[in-house]
Amino acid sequence: MNQNKINIAVLGASGYTGGDLIKILLNHDYVNISALSANSKLGMNPSNVHASLFNAQLPDFISLDEIDFTQIDLVISGLPHNNLHNIINNIPNKCKVIDMSADFRFSDVNIYNQYYETSHNSSELLSETAYGLSEIFRDSIKESRIVACPGCYPTAVLLSILPLIKENIISLEDIIVDAKSGVSGAGRGNKEELMFSEISESMKPYNIAKHRHTPEIEQIIGDISGKEIKINFTPHLIPINRGELVTIYLKTINGSKAKEAISCLNSYYKEDSYVHISNQGIPSETSKVRGSNNCLISIFDDRIDGRIIISTSIDNLIKGSAGQAIQNMNIMFDFDESEGLTSFGMYP
């Protein structure tokens, strides 16, 4: 295991995922937080922006132009979508890059341009980018300079079903995903529809039939299966700060039942620290993973013959973003994969 310290620059460090990223890095024995950028909070200290960091010793927020990348080993970007692809070519090739936005998730630039309504300015780098679903693509993550962290919904969905697709337990037809996430998934911007008085005592679907994570999920399933597929995906906003629950309805192949699916996932993830399969018939819930890098998966036989139901919970800010970024960093630099990620979740 590598035990040399690396210097890290975090871009867009004032958002929710940036705050969680900093907290995890402070518990990591082999990193130096060398630079933190935040255009809207220039000159401020992170302790004045992220409440839980009030007693941490951290550098003030600076602009991108002020970062000396010659002294940086790794750049972790928490910038919003449609930013990093415009500036990545200004980062020296010696720096590895982990992106928490969607800018490098798509191998097909046309899909990115369509769903994010822009024009990708670094499309030549897409072919050398690894998709950062840690437990599935560990080998390519280790060898890549650029790693694109998955979206939070794709993380929960793909961890639940990719091994089942590989082992021909589930059908690629009629995949239905009902997804729910807390309001932190929308970022820290001041939006009227995310005010407490607007979301409290309510739940609603959003981006019906057009959510950007849908083609991302379809792309990775297609890469694994070698087939072009379509899924039915509907996200919902629920009145909690953090946490995500997806319920997935699937057809099985050759009479497979929940017990075969459970056995498959247990076997696939037996060496992994953060994916846990329930063997007790208890549905997943967000309170069990809140504040942790864990993913909890439960599988049930449907009352309709030939179908199973999967419920999966993650913390959208940790396993769905910042925690997975650190897990990928540990893989890239040959640290122990759990370094900095050993904290239990928050309960209650």
| Residue 48's CATH number | 3.40.50.720
> Are 301 and 308 a contacting pair, CB within 8 Å?
yes
Whether 308 and 163 map to the same domain: the answer is yes
Q: One-letter amino acid identity for 174?
A: D
Whether 75 and 177 map to the same domain: the answer is no
Please name the residue ranges forming H helices in 14-137. 16-26, 84-87, 109-116
Counting the structural domains of the chain, the total is 2
Model-level pTM?
0.96
Whether 64 and 143 map to the same domain: the answer is yes
Residue 339 lies in a domain: no
Of 15, 156, 135, 128, residue with least CA distance to 76: 15
Share of the chain above pLDDT 90, in %: 89
Whether 161 and 295 map to the same domain: the answer is yes
Q: What residue has token string 């602009």?
A: 63
Whether 137 and 198 map to the same domain: the answer is no
Residue 117 lies in a domain: yes
Whether 144 and 256 map to the same domain: the answer is no
Whether 10 and 69 map to the same domain: the answer is yes
Residues annotated as catalytic (active site), given as ranges: 152
In tens, the pLDDT along 178-220 reads: 999 998 876 666 677 777 778 889 999 999 999 999 999 999 9
Residue 348 lies in a domain: no
Whether 121 and 48 map to the same domain: the answer is yes
In tens, the pLDDT along 212-270 reads: 999 999 999 999 999 999 999 999 999 999 999 999 999 999 999 999 999 999 999 99
Whether 101 and 169 map to the same domain: the answer is no
Residue 280 lies in a domain: yes
Q: Hey, which residues does 97 pair with through a beta bridge?
A: 75, 146
Whether 43 and 182 map to the same domain: the answer is no
Whether 205 and 144 map to the same domain: the answer is no
